[in-house]
Amino acid sequence: MTGVIFISGSRVPFADLDEIRLVAMVSGRIFDVQRFCIHDGPGIRTAVFLKGCPLKCLWCHNPEGMKPEFEIGFFTERCIRCGRCAVVCLRGAQIVGGERIFLRDRCENCGKCVEVCDAEALVLCGREVSTDEVVDEVEKDKLFYENSGGGVTLSGGEPLMQPEFTSEVLAGCHKRGIHTAIETAGFTQWKTLERVLPHLDLVLYDLKFIDSRKHQRFTGVPNEIILDNLQRLAKMKVDIILRLPLIPGYNDSAEDLDEMISFINGFKRFRNPIDVNMLPYHRFAEPKYARFGKEYALKGLLSQSDERIGEIVRLFRKNRINASVD
């Protein structure tokens, strides 16, 4: 049997059924692979960032991972004004004159400008990769994982937006004896989560708000399914670390924190202690928004003081939750 199938919008011919499986399962969209990650789970890890996320958190620190589509990033400071991008761009999106302007509304992400930009001022964010490619890359640091109790973490974006790919990568890593983790917002159908579980050692599960209206307002989606998934997950045989981004003025009021604590304590009967990782707000992501032509909604927002973070951690610990700051 032969024919064509469509993967991520492109036509892929295939020869037989096996090949369909092969082609259909091995491809995914990622935007980065970072080695020596030490804040994304235990030990020394490699983090694979998958492109696309159903949430639009105002504080997102990987704005380039939000859209599933490829995007062009522009690093102004790297531009040497050679003008080649302007020559190849058929839509006139690149202007290199007295001023250097990138008119994003004209851009169709064709990537021609990126190809000619030797200075890497224009970069394509996102690439289609096979699971083998990813697993091979991850495997390079296997010795570091073994010696440190580390492994791979699929992050994003949202890894569960590409469940086949995620599942295959995790399975591939498992096959090669590598500890696996995902970092997820949990906004997905339970069966999707269930699907990746057999290949998963650890879930880093984000919790932003307990109040669904607030969740809707600041992340773009309600949270019932997120909380529900977490409760189900708590009963499964997988390690969980809850990750709490602490955004000043958004989710760190006494009331927010109380809600959070009582929710977490609600499933203590399934697992105890519960590990919670606090992620204090920082502004390091701000420059990335400009590079991808996005507005940063939290401009000017300051981080909490170390004292305040300490207070919050103590509050959780007082409630017998194993909280730490990452």
Partner 1 sequence: MVEVNFVEKIETRPERIKRRVQSKTVFNGWFELEKLKMKSYRETLGQPTVIRRARMLEKMLQEMKIFIEPDELIVGSQDDCFDASYNLFAGGLENFTGYSLGFGDYSKLVGIPESQIAEVREFWMNEDYGVEMSQIFTEKDRWASEEAVWFTEPVTGHALADHGKVLNIGLNGIMEDVREKRSLVAGKEKRDFYDALLIACQAAIEFAHRFADLATEMARREEDARRKSELLHIGEVCRWVPANPARNFYEAVQSFWFSYVIQTIEQTPNPYAFSPGRLDQFLGPFLNKDLDKGRITWDEALELTQCLWLKFVVGKKYWAVSQNVILGGQTKDGRDATNEMTRLALETTAKMKTPQPSLSFRYHSGVPANVLKRVAEFLKLGFGMPALHGDDAVIKSLVRGGVALEDARDFGIAGCQEPVIQGCMNARTTATWFNLAKCLELSLDDGVSTMTGRQLGPRTGDPKGFKSFEDVMRAFKLQVEYFLDMMVSAHNKVDRVLAELRPVPFLSAIMNDCIEKGEDFRSTGARYNFSGCLVHGLANVADSLVAIKKLVFESGEIEMDELVEALRINFEGREDLRQKLINRAPKYGNDIDEVDLLAKQIATEVSDRIHIYKNALGGSFRAGFSTPSTHVLYGLRVGATPDGRHQKETLAFGIGPMQGRNRKGPTATMRSVTKFEHWRASHGLAFSQSLYPSDVEGEEGTKKLLSLIKTYFDLGGYYVYINIVNEKVLRDAQKHPESYRDLVVRVHGMSAFFVNLDPMIQEDIISRVANRL
**Site for partner 1, rule CB under 8 A:** 34-36, 38, 42-44, 80, 82, 84, 118-120, 140-141, 143-144, 147-150
Q: Least CB distance from residue 205 to partner 1, whole Å?
A: 20
Angle (deg, nearest 10), helices 163-175 and 131-139: 40
- In the complex with partner 1, the residue whose CB is nearer, 115 or 258, is 115
Coil vs helix vs strand at 324: strand
C-alpha 145/C-alpha 149 separation (Å) is 5
Q: How far is CA 266 from the centre of its chain?
A: 27
In terms of CB distance, is 142 or 320 closer to partner 1? 142
Which of 89-102 are b and which e, b meaning 16 or more Cβ less than 10 Å from the residue's Cβ? beeebbbbeeebeb
Write down the least CB distance from residue 1 to partner 1, Å: 38
Residue pair 182/155 in contact by the 8 Å Cβ criterion:
yes
* Shorter beta-carbon distance to partner 1: residue 147 or 253: 147
Nearest to partner 1 of 56, 81 (CB atom):
81
Residue 229 Cβ vs partner 1, minimum distance, rounded to whole Å: 28
Q: Are 238 and 197 in contact (CB under 8 A)?
A: yes
Instruction: Enter the tokens of residue 199.
Output: 């290949």
Q: Which is nearer to partner 1, 134 or 230 (CB)?
A: 134
Closest to partner 1 by CB, 213 or 282: 282
Report the alpha-carbon distance of residue 70 to residue 158 in Å, rounded: 15
Own/partner pairs, 17-26, CB within 8 angstroms, 24+ separation: 24/164, 25/131, 25/164, 25/165, 25/168, 26/130, 26/131, 26/132, 26/165, 26/168
Helices 306-318 and 254-266, axial angle in degrees (round to 10): 40
CB 48 within 8 A of CB 30: yes
- C-beta closer to partner 1: residue 22 or 325: 325
Question: Minimal distance in Å, beta carbon 34 to partner 1?
Answer: 7
Report the nearest approach of partner 1 to the CB of residue 79 (Å). Answer: 10
Q: Least distance (Å) from partner 1 to the CB of residue 228?
A: 31
CB of 179 to partner 1, least distance (A): 13
From the CB of 108, what's the least distance to partner 1, in Å? Answer: 24
Cβ atoms of residues 211 and 259 within 8 Å: yes
Choose between 267 and 281: whose C-beta lies nearer to partner 1: 281
Q: What share of the chain is helix, strand, coil (3-state, %, to 5)?
A: 35, 25, 40
